[in-house]
Amino acid sequence: MGYLLIALGTVAGIGCLICFILVVIEMFKRDQQALGIICVVGVIVCGIGPLIAFIYGWVKAKEWNITKLMTIYTACVIGSIVLNGAYYALVLPEVMNEIQNEIDKMEMDVN
């Protein structure tokens, strides 16, 4: 089950990346080069570039006729969050048990 969640979360993440690139391309097509550059640099520097592209894309969705793209972008973002969150909710208890077992073994070795 975990592998399926990771695979689907990865697909959703790739969808987010593709949609981000398409929104940035639209920025360059619409003479918003500075904003496009900020989004690209924002990915590299602090990771805020996709958030800027996402918000600005929705602001300009009707004007730029990219409502369908933004709907897909939104679905990918939500899907990625939900699927990756579900994976960690599934795996985290197992990881915590393994850590606790290692701590218990270390305590036995000391005594």
Cβ atoms of 9 and 90 within 8 Å: the answer is no
Which residue's structure tokens are 């990756």?
Answer: 84
Q: Is the pLDDT of residue 12 over 80?
A: yes
Residue 1: enclosing H or E segment and its boundaries?
Answer: none
Tally of domains in the chain: 1
Range of the domain at 104: 2-110
Question: 81-89: long-range contacts (C-beta < 8 A, 24 or more apart)?
Answer: 83/5, 83/8, 83/9, 83/12, 84/5, 84/6, 84/9, 84/13, 86/5, 87/2, 87/5, 87/6, 87/9
Answering whether pTM is above 0.95, one says no
Indicate the pLDDT class of residue 35, thresholds 50, 70 and 90: very high
Share of the chain above pLDDT 70, in %: 99
Q: Higher model confidence: residue 44 or residue 107?
A: 44
